[in-house]
Every structure is written in structure tokens, then in C-alpha cells.
């Protein structure tokens, strides 16, 4: 499934994220899995996944590891 982590596109369904492919060649593994509810906004800034709920409250989930994939 392709998701937008731009902070402006709401998630269409609830997800459990533990790792993500931020770009086609950049992989991020989170410190612990995070639930993202439908309607939440998600962005990735400064090695941290930021989830903003519809009320505006932000939750931060730091990355444990991130790396470029060499192909």
C-alpha cells in the first residue's frame, strides 16, 4: 500500500506501522510500532514519525534505524 507522509493527507484507514519506506530508496524502522487511526495526518521530520490526530494533538515516534537502500 502506498501512503503519503506529507502531513496534509489524512490516512484512509487504521494502520499499525513498525517500518516504512519513506522514499523508493530510504527505509525507516521505528523504535516501537505505532497505531495510526483513519483521519490522522502523518509526517516524517528529523528522524521522527509525527502523527497528528484530527483534534490537533501530536504524537512523536522516534526512528530506531534509518538507511538508504543501495540498488
- Cα 71 to Cα 64: distance, rounded to the nearest angstrom: 22
CA gap 54, 23 in Å, rounded: 25
pLDDT band at 71 (very low <50, low <70, confident <90, very high): confident
- At 24 the pLDDT is 85
Write out pLDDT tens, residues 12-59.
Answer: 999 999 999 888 889 999 999 999 999 999 999 989 999 999 999 999
State residue 2's pLDDT score: 74
Please give the model's pTM, rounded to 2 decimal places. 0.86
pLDDT of residue 49: 95
Beta bridge partners of 19: 29
Please tell me the predicted confidence (pLDDT) of residue 1. 66
Amino acid at each position: 500500500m502506498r501512503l503519503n507522509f506529507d502531513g496534509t493527507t489524512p490516512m484512509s484507514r487504521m494502520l499499525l506501522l513498525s517500518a516504512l519506506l519513506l522514499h523508493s530508496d530510504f527505509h525507516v524502522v521505528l523504535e516501537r510500532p505505532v497505531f495510526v487511526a483513519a483521519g490522522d495526518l502523518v509526517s516524517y521530520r528529523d528522524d521522527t514519525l509525527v502523527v497528528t490526530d484530527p483534534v490537533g494533538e501530536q504524537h512523536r515516534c522516534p526512528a530506531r534505524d534509518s538507511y538508504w537502500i543501495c540498488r
